[in-house]
Amino acid sequence: MKSPHLLRVLTLAGLGSLAAAPALAQEPGFFYGGVSAGTARASVDENAVASGLLGGAAVTGITSDETDNGYKLFGGYQFNRNFGMEAGYFDLGKSTFSATAPGGAFNNITRMRGLNLDLVGTLPVSDRFSLLGRVGVAMGRSRASFSGAGAAGVADRNDNKANAKVGLGVQYELTRAMWIRGEVERYRVNNGVNGRTNVNLYTVGLVFPFGRAPEPAPYVAQAPAYVAPAPAPAPIVQAPAPAPMPMPAPAPAPQRMSLSAESLFGFDASAVRPEGRAALDGFSRDLANSNYQTITVEGHTDRLGSAEYNQKLSEERAAAVKNYLVTAGRLDASRISAVGKGETMPVTKPGDCKGTQRNTALVACLQPDRRVDVEVNGTR
């Protein structure tokens, strides 16, 4: 290993990020998966590798290329906001070198890939931004191939061994369903000649949580209940001074009652329903001991349908109410008149109920227009 001090620093930093995170977090656990890609840089002691393979022979003129593309595929489980367990497949690309050996040119290509299992610690800095630290084990496979006249008799080698790995990184939550990560990880892999090589993997990747609980809705304070203001006190009205001569009492204002057609009749009908009879019975009882002159019954409809049909229906309904007041209410028929106004006197204003085609919303909006008005004149 060329840099033991760096390995110790990365290990301590990864453990430190885990220890600094709170032991408990509020969000429940969920699974995630992702992919990262970037650059792998190996630290191979090419001279030692070549010399070991050639039985200690002197090796000169070494040229190497220790940088290649690398990537990893991973999935994990986030126990809470601070701790997760992650497994993955990594490919650290290849490193190559060429050397001059006593027998001629000596070439090497080493490919490194494998599986890993990590404990990942997350240290939130803000609601979306976090620091990462990881420690784990990598079961790597190194495949070393040798060629050239100087490599005569040197067989290709495969090496499968478990080694430690550590890493540091940052993470930003783009949405609750996608994060972005930037990481640097150090893998220790075997170099194919009973030695170990450090490989640093620098990546940027995307993480996709799934099964994650939705973000709680923000709390909105309830508005205080409306309390109506206390009614203003009635004005004090002083009695007028007595008139020198008595004046005749003014004629009493007419009493008027409006009944919904729905409460009196069935749909598109003029027969009085039981619910309507109860209202008319009460009206008759109130007038039984009163001194009245005339009662006018007016039938009204909404604007749906033809004007002729609505006029006829309003007349039939007004007549039905008059007939019930006479037969069941025992009121004087000579004092009751019944007229139909059709759709000519709506209660709703123009523009309140838009549309011309009959539908549920329009029928409900025009309900006030379908009524029977009863006006009593001269009540004492």
Strands 104-124 and 30-43: unpaired
Is 216 domain-assigned? no
| Contact of 170 with 182, CB cutoff 8 Å | yes
Specify whether 201 is located in the same domain as 326. no
Specify whether 200 is located in the same domain as 284. no
Domain boundary among 143, 175, 210: 210
Is 169 domain-assigned? yes
Whose CA is closest to 53, among 189, 197, 153, 158? 153
pLDDT score, position 259 = 80
Q: Which residues contact 331 (CB under 8 A, 6 or more apart)?
A: 284, 287, 295, 325
**Cα distance between residue 355 and residue 325, in whole Å:** 37
Specify whether 195 is located in the same domain as 261. no
Specify whether 179 is located in the same domain as 294. no
| Contact of 94 with 108, CB cutoff 8 Å | no
Specify whether 263 is located in the same domain as 179. no
**Single-letter amino acid, residue 339:** V
Specify whether 152 is located in the same domain as 24. yes
Is 230 domain-assigned? no
Specify whether 158 is located in the same domain as 17. yes
Is 237 domain-assigned? no
| Contact of 92 with 187, CB cutoff 8 Å | yes
Specify whether 185 is located in the same domain as 273. no
Is 236 domain-assigned? no
Q: Which residues contact 60 (CB under 8 A, 6 or more apart)?
A: 99, 100
Domain boundary among 140, 175, 210: 210
Tokens in use for 18? 């885990």
Q: Residue 179's domain is classified under what CATH number?
A: 2.40.160.20
Specify whether 198 is located in the same domain as 259. no
CB atoms within 10 A of CB 69: 12
Is 271 domain-assigned? yes
| Contact of 17 with 121, CB cutoff 8 Å | yes
Q: Is 282 helix (H, G, I), strand (E, B) or coil?
A: helix
Is 281 domain-assigned? yes
Domain boundary among 180, 210, 240: 210
**Single-letter amino acid, residue 111:** R
pLDDT score, position 109 = 87
Specify whether 128 is located in the same domain as 263. no
Is 24 domain-assigned? yes
pLDDT score, position 21 = 37
Q: CA angle, 374 as apex, 371 and 375 as ends, to 5°?
A: 140
Residue 183: which domain range? 4-210
Q: Is 169 helix (H, G, I), strand (E, B) or coil?
A: strand
**Cα distance between residue 107 and residue 99, in whole Å:** 6
What tens-digit pLDDT sequence spans the chain (380 residues)? 344 554 454 444 444 444 433 333 456 789 999 999 999 998 877 777 776 666 666 777 788 888 999 999 999 999 998 999 999 999 999 988 887 877 777 788 889 999 999 999 999 999 899 999 999 999 988 888 878 776 666 777 788 889 999 999 999 999 989 999 999 999 988 876 667 889 999 999 999 999 776 665 444 445 556 566 777 676 676 666 666 666 655 555 567 778 887 778 876 778 888 888 888 888 888 877 778 889 999 999 988 889 999 899 999 999 999 999 899 888 888 989 999 999 999 989 888 888 888 888 888 898 888 899 988 887 65
Specify whether 46 is located in the same domain as 180. yes
Specify whether 270 is located in the same domain as 326. yes
Q: Residue 335's domain is classified under what CATH number?
A: 3.30.1330.60
- The tally of domains found in the chain comes to 2
pLDDT score, position 152 = 67
